[in-house]
Homo-oligomer: A and B are copies of this chain.
Amino acid sequence: MVNKELTLDTEEKILQAATKVFERDGYAGARMQVIADEAGMNKALLHYYFRSKEKLFSKIFLEKYNKFFSTLSILADQEMDFFEKIDKVIDSYMEMLIQNPEMPSMLINTITHHPELIQKLNTEGAQKMRSVLQFESEKGNIIAVESLQILTSVVGLCIMPFLAKPIAMHVFKLDMDFYQQVLLNRGPFVKKAVRAILKP
């Protein structure tokens, strides 16, 4: 197996470079010229392959986020204890976040600048999870509350330290290593927190 870098075809090179630049600079801050430089080719080629900046971003965005939502769908369908299932959701969130810490802020930025893309996200996985919560709530296994309150709590608990990283590091004068440790400890903390919240 040769070095993957060398075997990438042009389209893949563009997608990889664009992903990097969009993650770092956001949609508005990203420049087609910078993506071209990063991919080691000319600007015109980006348009040859993807027509426009908008279409290039759309492709990357939907692939990234729909992949995560489909993970959610698979988990919802599996036969297992409810709390085990919640733990697996949290694990899957944390794994994704450690690998892609910019995903939450990229999603928020996209809501502001490309609300139409939100309409194209797969909704199945999240819907299934909501049903699971409603079922457990009706059985009395967890607190009786609108399931949206629980869903937003789990998501908020998972992603907040990633969203807040730049502010928290400035406000509390923290270094990268310390903050990274906080992030790595987040999963176990959230699991305990969610159990405490859900107790009827």
Interface residues of A (CB under 8 A from B): 25-26, 28-29, 104-105, 107-109, 111-113, 115, 118-119, 121, 123, 126-127, 130, 145-146, 148-149, 151-153, 155-157, 159-161, 163-164, 166-168, 170-172, 182, 185-186, 189, 192-193, 196-197, 199
Residues of B with C-beta under 8 A to A123 = 170-172
Query: A113, A160, A168: which has the most chain B beta carbons within 10 Å?
Result: A160
Which of B28, B167, B186 touches A113 (beta carbons < 8 Å)? B28
**Inter-subunit contact A189/B121 (CB<8 Å):** no
In the A-B complex, the 4 residue pairs with the smallest Cβ-Cβ separation, listed nearest first, are A156-B160, A156-B156, A28-B28, A196-B196
**Inter-subunit contact B111/A166 (CB<8 Å):** yes
Residues of B with C-beta under 8 A to A105 = 108, 111-112
**Closest chain B residue to A182 by CB distance?**
B148
**Given known contacts A28-B113, A152-B168, A192-B197, what 13 new A-B pairs fall within 8 Å (CB)?**
A25-B112, A26-B113, A105-B112, A108-B163, A109-B109, A119-B170, A123-B170, A127-B171, A145-B189, A146-B182, A148-B172, A149-B185, A152-B161
Chain A interface, DSSP helix/strand/loop, else mixed: helix
Bound CA span A167–B145, Å: 20
**Closest chain B residue to A148 by CB distance?**
B182
Residues of B with C-beta under 8 A to A145 = 189
**Inter-subunit contact A155/B160 (CB<8 Å):** yes
**Inter-subunit contact B153/A193 (CB<8 Å):** yes
Which of B109, B115, B170 touches A108 (beta carbons < 8 Å)? B109
Bound CA span A172–B26, Å: 27
Bound CA span A2–B159, Å: 47
Bound CA span A79–B163, Å: 31
